[in-house]
Structure 1
Amino acid sequence: MADILAKELIYQTLNDRHGIVNQEKLNNAKVAIAGLGGLGSNIAVALARIGVGHLHLIDFDKVDISNLNRQHYFISHLNEYKTQALAEQLQMINPYLNIVTDCIKVTEDNIFSLFKDEDIICEAFDVPENKAMLVNKVLELFPEKYIISGSGMAGFGHSNEIHTRKVMGKFYICGDEKTALSNENSLMAPRVAICAGHQANLITQLILENNL
């Protein structure tokens, strides 16, 4: 690894890019990302690059060769737990971030303990039933928290069909909300990354507009 840059230099550069007030908000923000696949890994990298100060990474899976077509991992990460592989990458972007990992499957029974400390919860699962479970339980347990879900990003359809929509209260969905995974529509890097960009951009907006 290259020599680690001084903390003062990294944050002075971020202040110059984003403005001192905005960067202070980003530094203080707390975001949980549930699922570190095509959506979650790319969301985490985007947030690390802008200096979101606390990132909670949650997944139980290991990096597989089938992940390399769209997820932010490399051949060297194969068979590593995604939490470990992604945390290593984020530390290479900014070694002064507070990165917490939980290598665990999210269930209804552990949602409260896993997500109680973050202001924004990002749902980035693959399985629709798991998506619905997390969203519904967060809405029940944490009505004061923001929950951002991804839905509909398979295939290679029109980029502009990916959108961000406020569903109700503090619940948002990013995606085209219709394109499901199938033999004709596999998950591919460009469209998945567009959806991840929507989720990361909304998180940034919520942090800067709401002083989280």
Structure 2
Amino acid sequence: MITKAMIQRALIERHTAGVQEKLAGARVAIAGLGGLGSNVAVALARTGVGHLHLLDYDKVDITNLNRQQYFIRHIGMYKTDALTEELRDINPYLHITAECVKVTEGNVAGLFGQDDIVCEAFDRPEAKAMLVNGIREHYPDKLLVAASGMAGYGRNDTICTRRVAEHFYVCGDSVSEPEHGSGLMAPRVALCAAHQANLITQYIIDGHTD
């Protein structure tokens, strides 16, 4: 049987005790568990982040399987339940708070109060803007990592991380949008999600992103 101590020792071997202590104590919210959010969550779980707050109200659909961290067995399940199941397979000792809820202007202030970092991973531009505006208004000192532009199969180096304002970063190419023949595809979406997860990891360990 794999114990919590065994997993901790394995992570400390890779990261050192000091780094792993910071990762284990971090609290990261991921709003939206689709192509971006599911990939970010898996990356952070494997890295050793100890507290993940998952928010989504959608169910897994067959059209999600081309880029999201789900399997056929998850079709019809709420994404919060399906992703929690997967993350438990990676590390059953993670502290996961899963909320099957739609994030709105009315509840954004109450949902993220316990989190250190907020990862915006929505699909729709209006939802992205709502969350960014809400976090910037209510929690300006929290690190906010958003994403914009990751459609198609274009050049890797156009996906980048840029600082928009203090505590606010956007990952992606900020240009590409899904269209017929050039939709959201696994490699580029995962590349953008990796930028988000990597920035979050850097912030947790170093206490800054510069």
TM-score bucket of the superposed structures, by smaller chain: over 0.9
Q: Distance in 2 between matches of 1:202 and 1:71?
A: 20
Matches within 5 A, 1:193-204: 193-204=190-201
Deviation at 1:146, TM superposition (A): 0.7
2:108 aligned residue: 111
Residue aligning to 1:122: 119
For 2:14, which of 17, 30, 37 is the aligned residue?
17
Structure 2 CA distance, aligned partners of 1:10 and 1:119?
Answer: 23
**Separation in structure 1 between the aligned mates of residue 182 and residue 120 of structure 2, nearest angstrom:** 21
Q: For the residues of structure 1 that align with 2:180 and 2:124, how far apart are their CA atoms?
A: 16
Match of 2:31 in 1: 34
* Deviations, residues 84-122 of structure 1 (Å, cap 9, x unaligned): 000000011001110000001000011011101001000
SS in 2 for 1:117: coil
Hey, what's the Cα distance between the residues in 1 that align with 2:142 and 2:84? Answer: 24
Distance (Å, rounded) in 2 between the aligned partners of 1:51 and 1:114: 23
| Structure-to-structure mapping, 1:112-151, within 5 angstroms | 112-151=109-148
Q: CA–CA distance in 2 between the matches of 1:163 and 1:144?
A: 23
- Structure 1 residue matching 2:92: 3-state secondary structure: coil
Deviations 1:61-95 (A, max 9, x none): 00000000000000000000000000000011001
Structure 2 partner of 1:53: 50
Name 2:149's counterpart in structure 1: 152
1:184 is displaced (CA, Å) by 3.3
State the Cα distance separating 1:155 from its structure 2 match.
Answer: 0.2
Instruction: Could you list the structure 1 runs, at least 4 aligned residues long, displaced by more than 3 angstroms after superposition.
Output: none
1:173 aligns with 2:170: yes
Identity across the alignment (%): 59
- The separation in 2 between residues aligned to 1:8 and 1:140, in whole angstroms, is 40
User: Which structure 2 segments of 5+ residues have no match?
Assistant: none
Residues matched between the structures, number = 208
CA distance, structure 1, for counterparts of residue 141 and residue 194 of structure 2: 24
Code of the aligned partner of 1:178: V
Q: In structure 2, what is the equivalent of residue 163 of structure 1?
A: 160
**2:140 aligned partner, one-letter code:** P
Q: How does 1:75-94 map to 2 (within 5 A)?
A: 75-94=72-91
Partner SS for 1:68: helix
Q: Name the CA distance, whole Å, in 2 between partners of 1:182 and 1:102.
A: 31
Residue 165 of structure 2 is aligned to residue 189 of structure 1: no
Q: Normalising by structure 1, report the TM-score.
A: 0.97
CA drift at 1:51: 1.1
Root-mean-square deviation (CA), in Å?
A: 0.8
Task: Tell me, in whole angstroms, the C-alpha distance in 2 between the residues paired with 1:182 and 1:195.
Answer: 18
Give, in whole Å, the separation in 1 of the partners of 2:197 and 2:111. 20
